[in-house]
Amino acid sequence: MHSEWSWDALAGSMERTCERAVEIGLPSLAFTEHADFTPWLLREHDRIPDAWQALVNGRVLTPPEIDLDGYLECLHRCRDRFPDLRILSGVELSEPHRHGHRAGALLASGGFDRVLASVHFLPVGSGSTEVSGLYRDQPASAVVRGYLAETLRMIERFDDFEILAHIDYPVRHWPADAEPYDPVAFEDDYRVVLRALAGAGKALEINTRVPLHPLVVRWWHEEGGQAVTFASDAHDPPSLARGFSEASAMAESCGFRPGAHLTDFWKRR
């Protein structure tokens, strides 16, 4: 979501990102906008952009609608200025299995080149809470298992996506006072999700913001996964393609081979 930006500022950032892609020799990139649907309960220490204050009722924040026209205008500006760069449109749907009608309507009108699905908020009581906030009330292991269970529900109940984003999202917020994160402790939970994802014919994202552990990628291959994609989760031009060389080598070591473009799907050998 970029409601704290003006679209002129965002277009400028996107154009600088394209300049960075040309500079480092990246032949293709995707600008993936967030589409968040789930209202969530704000906790005491949660911080939100000033522009979102008007969206808060009591302690519940209802995310703003994606400004599809503004996003597409910025995208077209980039394509006009960089005709030799392959620039893809994309959207990351958050909890689309709980908002099927709205997600479907957005996809019907957006014409996106890439559709990702993800989980950021988990049900708590009669509402929802952002994953990181759950660490204050639950053991770290329970948060990860709850997250993976909700991700499984999403895969089973919503089919209109190509790529599962950041399967290890809770690791980004791993509490300092918890035991060190070890994916082996959650192997069975990961494998259940990966098996369902493979059965649905989807791709797994290797997000390099917090590098995905190689074991998860290897389990993905073993469970029948056919493809991976790469995402630097870059919110600023210098971060574009960060960690891609290491992620590419890791994916290849796990049995995947490169496609024509780094932003395309890598296939099983």
Report the C-alpha gap between 68 and 38 in whole angstroms: 18
pTM of the complete model: 0.92
Distance CA(263)–CA(240), nearest Å, equals: 12
CA 227 to chain centre: 16
Half-sphere exposure of 241 toward its Cβ, with a 13 Å CA cutoff? Answer: 18
Side by side, the strands of the sheet bearing 56-57 are: 40-41, 60-61, 56-57
Place of tokens 């649905």: 200
Q: In this structure, is the dihedral angle defined by the CA atoms of residues 37, 41, 45 and 47, taken in order, positive or negative?
A: positive
Give the pLDDT confidence score for residue 259 in this predicted structure: 65
Q: What is the pLDDT of residues 205-262, one digit of tens each?
A: 999 989 999 999 999 999 999 999 999 988 889 999 999 999 999 999 999 988 644 4
Closest CA to 263 of 219, 218, 207: 207
CATH number of 7-268: 3.20.20.140
Best CA proximity match to 260, nearest among 26, 76, 23, 19: 26
Torsion angle defined by CA atoms of residues 125, 128, 134 and 137, in that order, rounded to the nearest 10 degrees: -20
Of 34-43, 138-147, 150-159, minimum mean pLDDT range: 34-43
Three-state DSSP at 204 gives strand
**pLDDT value, residue 1:** 40
Indicate if the alpha-carbon torsion angle 142, 147, 148, 150 is positive or negative.
positive
Q: Are 214 and 250 in contact (CB under 8 A)?
A: yes
Write the pLDDT tens digit of every residue in 66-105: 999 999 999 999 999 999 999 999 999 999 999 999 999 9
End-to-end Cα spacing for the chain: 36
| Amino acid, res. 4 | E
Listed by start position, the domains of the chain span 7-268
Tell me, what's the pLDDT at 266? Answer: 73
- CA nearest neighbour of 38 among 85, 96, 89, 87: 96
Question: Rounded distance, CA 137 to CA 159, Å?
Answer: 32
